[in-house]
Structure 1
Amino acid sequence: MASPYWVMMGIILILTPAICWLFTLHRKELRTPMSRVGQMIHDQRYYLHMAGYIVIIVWKGITDKLNEPIKGATGHWTDWVYAIEGEPVLWIQQTFENATLTSVLNFHYLFIYLFLIYVTTVYYAYTGERDMTDKVTLNYLLIYAIAVPYYLFFNVEVTSSWIPEMKALLYHDGMYTAFYVSHDPLDNAVPSLHVAIPFGILLLNWMHCRNLGIRVRDWAHYRYHVFIFANTVLFCFTILYLGIHWIVDIPLGMAVGAIGALFIHQIQPRLRNDYGSVFKGMTGKRWRNHFIVEGIATILIVALMMAAVSYQADTGDERPSFRLGPGDSTFEIVQKLDHGETVDLTLTNWHETETLQVILVISENTLEQMEVGDINWDGLAENWAVIEAGPGESIQLEVTQPRVWHLVIMHHPGEEETGVMEVKVLSDYNQDALWKAYLLSIPSLWITAWVVHRLYRMKKSGVHWLTNTPSHTWPNNGESE
């Protein structure tokens, strides 16, 4: 099968013109002639939008590189989520599982999701919707930024790593395994950006129409709105079915999407200079007001994050990292190292009677043994050394090989009656990276505080909460952003 990169390029080349053509069939006058595309990009400064996508790719890379090194300090909260909702996602998977559906949803989860993020910006630009082009571009950039502290400090393992018998239909499947090992730590389950980002687009569409004084169904882009809605609903099912997300990830993803959409809806007119310069109306007093209120709120949330880290430090020894049913296999990712870096791993078998089996292997060497949610343990064991840890015993591993991704594959060899095997994994990357995680989280905390502060000020001033004009334009109001 072709690599994910070339599949994505093919989708972009084929489906981009198809989407733009299909959803403008009823309003052909909205189309931008190809001869004017270059001028449009220049006049509307859409080159900044392109730069925004580059920024988020770099930002995500930095965030992902921090995830594993700080994991020993931040721990995870999977047991809390499991205690709240139990195993209904297992019923969903077992009820609907079939090979064809799995293949379709795997493709949809990876490729259509990425394509929707990109093509929505292109579609709105192509149809002359300057404001919506701005907003959906910011939607991807800022919603990811808002999610950063949750991913770094409130880790939750994917359902297939925690619920026995839950299959990793996406992560244990050849090409998808290779892609996600290098792009997804597998403990960023809460919140779901597959819900947050398209839900943010839906909210932005709705708020835009409210500003225009029309219903969404009367909007020229209503058909495209329905297209996004249908994909959002499908994403909600997909993330549960494939063994990725928990049910609680859906409302939490919607909450993150709502915060991002409100911020974008209200800040975009300032960024476009529709009401004067970006900082028009700002005075020293008003700057101080924002700095004090939103700064204090940000500090309080940072204190909450520090408390969470402290709690994990005090209770981490009581919490397993993985739970395997009899015959189950799963893996821990060891991220790519630079020259001179090392990772020290300790795996402890908490089962009372059964032996834990472990293989340490470069991820690229495992792809043929992963198919449709299953790891072929026997096939791996024929080619790679198996290390065993008896009940209560630990295994010490050291990874030093640079520039490749490694997998620590764990297997529960027991029979059905032996029950669940809990495994504790400690990964020491020998790095002090926690302070970087706090710094990366500040934009998210400030955005959240800004939105809450703005809503409070709007209510106090008697302004409707959907108003997106800068506050210096509010009637009888001396405030400013």
Structure 2
Amino acid sequence: MSPYWVMMGLILILTPIICWLFTLGREENRTPLNKIFEVIHEKRYYLHALGYIFIIKWKSLTDELNEPIKIKTGNWTDWIYSFEGEITLWVQQTFENQYLTEFLNFHYLFIYLFLIYITTVYFAYVGERDMTDKVTLNYLLIYALAVPYYLFLNVEVTSSWIPGMKALLYHDGWYTVFYATHDPLDNAVPSLHVAIPFGIILLNWLHCKEKNIKMKEWDHWYYHLFIVINTILFVFTIAYLGIHWLVDIPLGMLVGAIGALFIHHLQPRMRNDHGKMFEGVTKKKVVNHTFWEGAATLIILFLVLSAVSYQENNIDERVSMRLGGGDSTYEILTPLGHGEEVTTSISNLDETLTLQFVILWVEDSVYAMDNGVINWQEIEKNQTIYSVAPQSTTNVTIDDPKLWHLVILHNNATELDDVIELRIINDYGDDEMWKAIALSLPSMWMTGFVIHRLKRLKQAGRSFIDSTPSHLWEEE
């Protein structure tokens, strides 16, 4: 059974327990079981469930585009590495422990899903309508905000770039198939494991601040503290497991902050707390919003397209991954439709070392994934190994429909410092760039909205936490 469904099963079982535990001493806040469906209908919480279904589909569409457009978008890992170096390798080697690894592997997936789903249920259960709305939107919109960064600013995970860095999460039996089919492994920036919980933390703070509630006196302080502690643990986890770069943390916080501010200022209008949804909207305001937020959107779009142009113009200098002596990693090939094919070009950029590779169905790779490393000796016993000579390129065409493939790459050198830089370009044949741009426009507009909103609040002499619609400012 997939780790996802195991975790979701645990979450389903634990949901009532968690809601009960965090409301001890505040039993009056609990929603009686015989009124649950009435509350769901009255508060329109069924829309929240539809929202989760929508974002799951949005993520699926984004992931489907990720690989086909990489031939144009390239990756920016070398820039991150030149800035950050190998700090995460030190973190991993300093603290590596089998039991810690097992715990953090579980925590990385379980608590992430826990915070996404149970937080919504918890706030609904205790009658916090506004917070229920906000934490649901937090997941939906923060992922939407991250889309252009994932599609156009690809950054490989640390274990695909830093020699000697183990993929403690990805190269581990039970988890391998799930992550290979759900995580492109080049969506390192920003970290949603930071952005989403940080968004919840900031939404909690904005909610209390606007209502003049001290955080420690808030009824949900202990649940808030629970989120804070797990977010701090996420920061360590993503560095330790060989997933994210440290720079992903502040960038994740930035995305979380933009999302939280957007939600905080929009939710009162969506709930009609200050009149109808579009009350106070005039032609002048529409023009003003369109101009400023449209300008911000166009500027961000220009920067994105400039980045794509840079990558296209420098395709011959592009480095996709780096392998130290004895290191192995893999590239994911997404499923094809009937009659489709993908041509994979594997270039060995080293002048003396030979690169080895094999192509497997994802399900057939599990036996070789163990404790963060790929057991190349086991693969050699069971598979045909191909080689790419120094300064040469090998092309392979795959046309198996409906199957996930891994291109497993290996540096057979004995010294870790004997690093092979390689380039992988997967040509899926179709130009899907317009779809990627279309999926990214909401993120660009939301960013523009937040910038414009904060500017207007400052000009009006109001606090940035003030979520009152602007048409009411003059009436106060």
Q: Is TM (by shorter chain) over 0.5?
A: yes
Counterpart position of 2:414: 415
Unaligned runs of 5+ in 1: none
Within the alignment, does 1:113 sit opposite 2:112 as a pair?
A: yes
Change (3 A) 1:122 1:150: same
Counterpart position of 2:348: 349
Counterpart position of 2:227: 228
Identity %: 61
Change (3 A) 1:182 1:417: closer
Counterpart position of 2:203: 204
Q: CA deviation at 1:429?
A: 0.6
Within the alignment, does 1:142 sit opposite 2:141 as a pair?
A: yes
- Work out the CA distance in 1 between the residues paired with 2:419 and 2:25: 57
Counterpart position of 1:272: 271
Within the alignment, does 1:468 sit opposite 2:467 as a pair?
A: yes
Letter in 2 for 1:232: T
Counterpart position of 2:160: 161
Q: Is the 8 A contact 1:354 1:418 kept in 2?
A: no
Counterpart position of 1:405: 404
Q: CA deviation at 1:315?
A: 1.7
Q: CA deviation at 1:417?
A: 6.8
Alignment of 1:305-324 (within 5 A): 305-324=304-323
- Work out the CA distance in 2 between the residues paired with 1:292 and 1:9: 44
- Work out the CA distance in 1 between the residues paired with 2:14 and 2:135: 19
- Work out the CA distance in 2 between the residues paired with 1:145 and 1:34: 34
- Work out the CA distance in 2 between the residues paired with 1:319 and 1:415: 25
Letter in 2 for 1:145: A
Letter in 2 for 1:386: I
- Work out the CA distance in 1 between the residues paired with 2:338 and 2:99: 42
Alignment of 1:32-181 (within 5 A): 32-181=31-180
| CA displacement, residues 189-209 of structure 1 (integer Å, 9 cap, x when unaligned) | 000000000000000000100
| CA displacement, residues 162-194 of structure 1 (integer Å, 9 cap, x when unaligned) | 000000000101121101111110000000000
Letter in 1 for 2:351: E
Letter in 1 for 2:336: L
Counterpart position of 2:303: 304
Q: TM-score, normalised by structure 2?
A: 0.99
- Work out the CA distance in 2 between the residues paired with 1:90 and 1:319: 23
Q: Is the 8 A contact 2:323 2:419 kept in 1?
A: yes
Change (3 A) 1:462 1:397: same
Q: Is the 8 A contact 2:326 2:416 kept in 1?
A: no
Counterpart position of 1:289: 288
| CA displacement, residues 206-263 of structure 1 (integer Å, 9 cap, x when unaligned) | 0100121111110000000000001100000000000000000000000000000000
- Work out the CA distance in 2 between the residues paired with 1:146 and 1:134: 18
Counterpart position of 1:459: 458
Q: Is the 8 A contact 2:320 2:423 kept in 1?
A: yes
Unaligned runs of 5+ in 2: none
- Work out the CA distance in 2 between the residues paired with 1:457 and 1:392: 56
Counterpart position of 2:326: 327
- Work out the CA distance in 2 between the residues paired with 1:24 and 1:134: 20
Q: Is the 8 A contact 1:357 1:389 kept in 2?
A: yes
- Work out the CA distance in 1 between the residues paired with 2:14 and 2:370: 28
Counterpart position of 1:244: 243
Q: Is the 8 A contact 2:335 2:402 kept in 1?
A: yes
Q: CA deviation at 1:418?
A: 6.1
Q: CA RMSD in A?
A: 1.0
- Work out the CA distance in 1 between the residues paired with 2:293 and 2:467: 19
Matched residue SS, 2:430: coil
Which portions of structure 1, spanning 4 or more consecutive aligned residues, are displaced by more than 6 angstroms? none
Alignment of 1:365-376 (within 5 A): 365-376=364-375
Within the alignment, does 1:30 sit opposite 2:1 as a pair?
A: no
Q: Is the 8 A contact 1:348 1:392 kept in 2?
A: yes
Letter in 2 for 1:132: M
Q: TM-score, normalised by structure 1?
A: 0.98
- Work out the CA distance in 2 between the residues paired with 1:9 and 1:313: 41
Matched residue SS, 2:329: strand
Q: Is the 8 A contact 1:11 1:115 kept in 2?
A: no
Q: CA deviation at 1:91?
A: 0.2
Matched residue SS, 1:332: strand
